[in-house]
Amino acid sequence: MSFNVASIMALFCLTFVISGQSHAAWYEAKGQAIIVNGNKEKARRDATEEALKQALLFAGASISSVQQLTNGLLESEDITISSSGEVDHLELTDEVWHSNYVTVSVRADIFPATKQCSAVDYDKNIATSYFMVENRQHLVEGKIPNFSEAVTRKLATEMSAQAQHLNLSFIAPHTTRWGINGLEENVRALSEKSNAQFVLVGSISDVSVQRDRPSSLAFWKEEKATRYFSLSIKVFDGINSGLLMQRDYLTEADWPFDRFTDVDEFSAVFWRSEFGDAIKKQMHQLTTDISETIACQPLTGRVLDVTGSHLSVSLGRDNGIQTGDTLFVYQTSEIVDRQGKAYLQYHIYPGEFVVENAYGNSAKIIHKGSGIIANIQESDFVIKR
């Protein structure tokens, strides 16, 4: 079935779920289609099917689910269905006829797929800055002023070795105090600067040393030193500033250096010590947790340039994008209700876009149908499901 791209419009509203994709979300979609030669039924079917397909695909439903639901729904008079799969409830909520076009509204309560998602095979890039050490007095013992840089860079190395599709691709060469005010703007700015979809925010609250002196009755024993490590992290979707993960990592281990030793925090001696090894174990757990959290997050990038009928986007072979892949293009905006509750609204361009050429960290795409790309602008977004 072909569609007149200029005559069909879909608008999607989603209440952003802070915990990511772990719960269902209501998607509301409106579709419009021009009535051609008085065929109202065809216009109704075109508008409904286009809105329904894009809503389901954008929400992460499988192609088989889309085909099954659209075919079944469009044969039903009330266009209502309940299922035990990815879509818990789907219904036509409104239908308005105008002089030469029809508007239909649908909404769906969509759960994440329980099976392994297709996005798991795409490479996910993460950006961060040096983790902030909240109490720098803790760095005096051992004289490790660059501890935050050493830990952050070590995490990048360990993540690269451990995770197949996870890459700490950008580390801003400074520490950042991520306060509540301006947090979302800073996350989006770092994501855009680094061309990384996800942003990792880290804060080290404890690197203190506790020394236990032996009792006078055991004067021959050496002083025992224990060093602590406490890291709090948050992982954001840098495109939409949505918080996907928040967790604390705590450990402690023997500190083998005396109080007067200058320790090189980048050295193998440090990282092979019991304390260094204890931190690496926390890094491995952190990597596993992040991998599980973002594995099924859809691959998202930005529109870099609009030239004629082609779009340049910030996804490429480095992310697993290949020639012939299908992408969607959309805009976002935020609306706030009377109670002050914020909603993230997606404006999705009708139809699909196909990758004509894939490069290292970018690609050129074109509309799969007519090639029309009216109203698409730089800094709009592109998504791979």
pLDDT, tens digit (0-9, with 9 covering 90-100), for 356-373: 999 988 999 998 876 667
Whole-number Å distance between alpha carbons of 229 and 206: 5
Q: Which helix (H) or strand (E) holds 364?
A: strand 363-367
Give me the pLDDT at residue 133, please: 95
**Percentage of the chain modeled with pLDDT above 90:** 35
Give me the pLDDT at residue 86, please: 56
Whole-number Å distance between alpha carbons of 288 and 271: 20
Instruction: Please compute the mean of the pLDDT values over residues 257-282 and round it to a whole number.
Output: 94
Q: Which two tokens stand for residue 383?
A: 């998504």
Give me the pLDDT at residue 257, please: 93
Give me the pLDDT at residue 4, please: 37
Give me the pLDDT at residue 280, please: 94
Tell me the sheet residues that pair with 353: 327, 367
E strands in 111-241: 124-130, 132-133, 166-175, 198-206, 209-212, 224-237
Give me the pLDDT at residue 64, please: 45
Task: Please state which of the ranges 176-180, 240-244, 348-352 shows the lowest mean pLDDT.
Answer: 176-180
Give me the pLDDT at residue 245, please: 94
Whole-number Å distance between alpha carbons of 373 and 352: 11
pLDDT digits (tens, 9 = 90+) for 188-216: 889 989 989 999 999 999 999 999 876 65
Whole-number Å distance between alpha carbons of 218 and 208: 25
Q: Which two tokens stand for residue 187?
A: 């996350």
Task: Please state which of the ranges 155-159, 209-213, 234-238 shows the lowest mean pLDDT.
Answer: 209-213
**Percentage of the chain modeled with pLDDT above 70:** 75
pLDDT digits (tens, 9 = 90+) for 296-336: 888 888 999 988 888 999 999 888 899 999 898 888 777 78
Q: Which of 67, 1, 58 is nearest to 33 (CA)?
A: 1
Confidence band, pLDDT 50/70/90 cuts, at residue 218: low
Give me the pLDDT at residue 108, please: 67
Given a cut of 50, whether residue 163 has pLDDT beyond it is: yes
Instruction: Please compute the mean of the pLDDT values over residues 86-110 and round it to a whole number.
Output: 76
Whole-number Å distance between alpha carbons of 15 and 178: 25
Mean pLDDT of the chain: 79
The two beta strands, 363-367 and 310-313, are antiparallel
Given a cut of 90, whether residue 65 has pLDDT beyond it is: no
Give me the pLDDT at residue 101, please: 85
The two beta strands, 124-130 and 198-206, are parallel
Instruction: Please compute the mean of the pLDDT values over residues 250-267 and round it to a whole number.
Output: 94
pLDDT digits (tens, 9 = 90+) for 99-150: 888 888 777 666 655 445 666 777 889 999 999 999 999 999 999 999 999 9
The long-range contacts involving 242-248, CB below 8 angstroms and separated by at least 24 positions, are 242/16, 242/17, 242/18, 242/20, 242/344, 243/18, 243/19, 244/19, 244/20, 244/198, 244/293, 244/294, 244/297, 245/20, 245/289, 245/290, 245/293, 245/294, 247/286, 247/289
